Amino acid sequence: MTDYWADGLGAPADAQGKWERIAWEIGEMVAGPNSNDVDRNARFPHEAVAALKESGLLSALLPVTHGGDDATMGEISGAIRALAFHCASSALVLAMHSLETFSLKRHGLTPGLQALAKEVAAENLLIANANSEVGIGGDISRSICALQNETNPMTIEKQALAVSYGEYADLVVTIARRSPEASESDQIMFFCRPPQLQMEPTSVWDSIGLRGTCSRGFRITAEVSPDLIYPMPLATMINDGGGQSRQLLLNSVWVGLAEAAAARAHAFVREAGRRSIGTTPATALRLAELAVELQEGRSLLVSTAQRFYELDKMGDVQNAGFLMAMRSLKVSTSTLAVRTATEALSICGIAGYRRDSPFSLDRILRDSHGGVIMGSNERNLQDNAQMLLARKQI
Ligand SMILES: Cc1cc2nc3c(=O)[nH]c(=O)nc-3n(C[C@H](O)[C@H](O)[C@H](O)COP(=O)(O)OP(=O)(O)OC[C@H]3O[C@@H](n4cnc5c(N)ncnc54)[C@H](O)[C@@H]3O)c2cc1C
- The answer, yes or no, to whether any atom of ligand 1 lies below 6 A from the CB of 143, is no
Ligand 1 nearest-atom number relative to CA 377: 47
Domains contained in the chain, number: 3
Domain edge (last residue) among 95, 123, 151: 123
pLDDT greater than 70 at residue 141: yes
The answer to whether residue 322 is domain-embedded is: yes
Mean pLDDT of the chain: 96
- Indicate whether 1 pLDDT > 70: no
Do 216 and 240 belong together in one domain? Answer: no
Among 227-231, 276-280, 387-391, the range scoring the smallest mean pLDDT is 276-280
- For residue 217, the domain's CATH number is 2.40.110.10
Do residues 15 and 94 both lie within one domain? yes
Q: Whose CA is nearest to atom 20 of ligand 1?
A: 138
Ligand 1: centre distance to CA 132 (Å): 8
250 C-alpha vs ligand 1 centroid, how far in Å? 14
Best mutation site among 378, 381, 383, 387 for ligand 1, i.e. most ligand atoms within 8 A of its Cβ?
378
Does 100 lie in the same domain as 165?
A: no
Is the pLDDT at 385 greater than 90? The verdict is yes
CA-CA distances (angstroms) from residue 79 to 22, 73, 74, 255?
Answer: 8, 10, 9, 12
Examine the domain organization and report whether 193 and 318 are in the same domain. no
Residues 240 and 355 in one domain: yes
Report if pTM > 0.75: yes
Domain CATH for 53: 1.10.540.10
Q: Is 314 exposed, middle or buried (0-12, 13-18, 19+ CB in 10 A)?
A: exposed
Whether residue 130 has its Cβ less than 6 Å from ligand 1: yes
Average pLDDT over residues 16-42: 97
Say whether both 97 and 176 belong to one domain. no
Instruction: List the one residue out of 241, 133, 126, 261 whose CA is nearest residue 194.
Output: 126
Q: Tell whether 134 and 258 lie within a shared domain.
A: no
380 lines ligand 1 (CB under 6 A): no
Give yes or no for a contact between 211 and 87, defined as CB atoms under 8 angstroms apart: no
- Of 78-92, 268-282, 348-362, which range is least confident? 268-282
Q: Are 137 and 114 contained in the same domain?
A: no
CATH number for the domain harbouring residue 266: 1.20.140.10
- pLDDT of 5 above 70: yes
Query: Residue 327 sits in which domain range?
Result: 234-390
Shared domain check, 131 and 118: no
Indicate if ligand 1 lies below 6 Å from the C-beta of 376. Answer: yes
Atom of ligand 1 nearest to the CA of 139: 30
Query: Could you tell me if the CB of 382 is within 6 A of ligand 1?
Result: yes
Domain finish residue from 228, 253, 280: 228
224 and 260 together in one domain: no
Last residue of a domain, one of 68, 92, 123: 123
Mean pLDDT is lowest, of 25-34, 209-218, 374-383, for 374-383
The verdict on 183 and 248 lying in the same domain is: no
77, pLDDT greater than 70: yes
Would the CB of 370 count as within 6 Å of ligand 1?
Answer: yes
Give pLDDT, residue 2: 52
Give the number of the atom of ligand 1 that is nearest the alpha carbon of residue 140.
19
At 3, the pLDDT band (50, 70, 90 cuts) reads low
